Amino acid sequence: MPRLKAGQRHEVAFTLNGVAVRGEAEPRMLLTDFLRHVIGVTGTHVGCEHGVCGACTIRLDGVATRGCLLFAVQVAGRDVKTVEGLGGSDGRLSPLQEAFRRNHALQCGFCTAGILMSLDDFLEKNPSPTEPEVREVLSGHLCRCTGYTGIVRAALETAKGNADA
């Protein structure tokens, strides 16, 4: 990795939702601020900036990761997926997003992007999870609106749908 200078902007080139993008960031700039305010994709939210609430979760090289605990320069050359990359290119919702809608798994929607990204990763690796497993994964996220019921149901329903398909 090249030596970076504090106070200086560096170019960060990476793949965002399958598309090559680049932007400039100081070494101390958080990935969340970079995505939201430099690149201009605001679907990834910030709820605590200390790694607890999970609102900022993205997938980095396929792994669900806290965006607020990464610096922008750390994603150089890597693959980032955010909530904007979940649906089909035709604007259709993914099965998980559809299940969220059907099950009223969101209210204010502020926590939602992070939860979708965690579940996107989790369901890919665990196609038929149990409810306790789903709850365990969700315990990395805080939602103040829904009481989690709809979210748990949406995840289980998606897994079932995938299995039936």
Partner 1 sequence: MNEVAAELAREEAYTGRPLKRVEDAALLTGRGRFIDDLPSSAGTLHAAILRSPHAHAELVSIDAAEALKMAGVAAVITRKDVTALTRPFTVGVRQPMQHWCLAVDRVRYVGEPVAVVLARDRYLAEDALDAISVEYRPLPPVIDPERAARADAPLLHPDVGANVVSDRSFAYGDPEAAFAEAPHVVGTTIRYPRNSVTPIECFGMIADWRPDDGTYEITTHFQGPFALHPVMALALKVPGTKVRIRTPPDSGGSYGVKQGVVPYAVLMAVAARVAGRPVKWIEDRLEHLSAASSATNRVTRIEAAVAEDGRVTALRYDQLEDCGAYLKAPEPATLYRMHGTLTGAYQIPNLTVRNRVVLTNKTPTGLNRGFGGPQVYYALERLMHRIADELGLDRLEVIRRNLVPKEAMPYRAAAGSLYDSGDYAATVDLAIGEGRLVGLLARREKARKEGRLYGIGFAAVVEPSVSNMGYITTVLTAEEREKAGPKDGAVASATVALDPLGGVSVAVASTPQGQGHRTVLSQVVADVFGLRPEDVSVTVELDTARDAWSIAAGNYSSRFAAAVAGTAHLAAMRLRDRLAPIAAQRLNVPAEEIVFSGGKVAARSNPENSLSFHRLAGASHWSPGTLGDGVDPALRETAFWSPPELAAPDRGDVINSSAAYGFIFDMCGVEVDRDTGKVSIDRYVTAHDAGRLLNPALADGQVRGAFANAVGAAFYEEFAYGEDGRCLNGTFADYLVPTACEVPEPEILHMACPSPFTPLGAKGIGEGNCMSTPVCLANAVADALGVSDIDLPLSPAQVMALIEPNEPPPPHAAAVEAREPGRALSGEGTATIAATPDEIWRAILDPASLARLLPGCERLEAIDENTYAADVTVRVGPVTGRYTARVRLSELQPPHSLRLDGDGGGTLGTGSGTAWIVLQPADGSTRIEYRWEAEAGGKVAAVGGRMLESAARLLIRQMLQRLEVGAAPAAKRPWWRKHLPLGKGR
Residue with Cβ nearer ligand FES (5 or 37)? 37
Q: Which of 75, 119, 138, 156 binds partner 1 (CB under 8 A)?
A: 138
SS (H, E, C) 20-59: EEEEEECCCCEHHHHHHHHHCCCCCCCCCCCCCCCCCEEE
- Could you say which of partner 1, ligand FES, none residue 136 binds, taking C-beta under 5 to 8 angstroms by partner kind? partner 1
- Could you say which of ligand FES, partner 1, none residue 42 binds, taking C-beta under 5 to 8 angstroms by partner kind? partner 1
In this structure, the strands spanning 10-16 and 79-81 are: parallel
- Could you say which of ligand FES, partner 1, none residue 151 binds, taking C-beta under 5 to 8 angstroms by partner kind? partner 1
Q: Which of 52, 77, 128, 160 binds partner 1 (CB under 8 A)?
A: 52
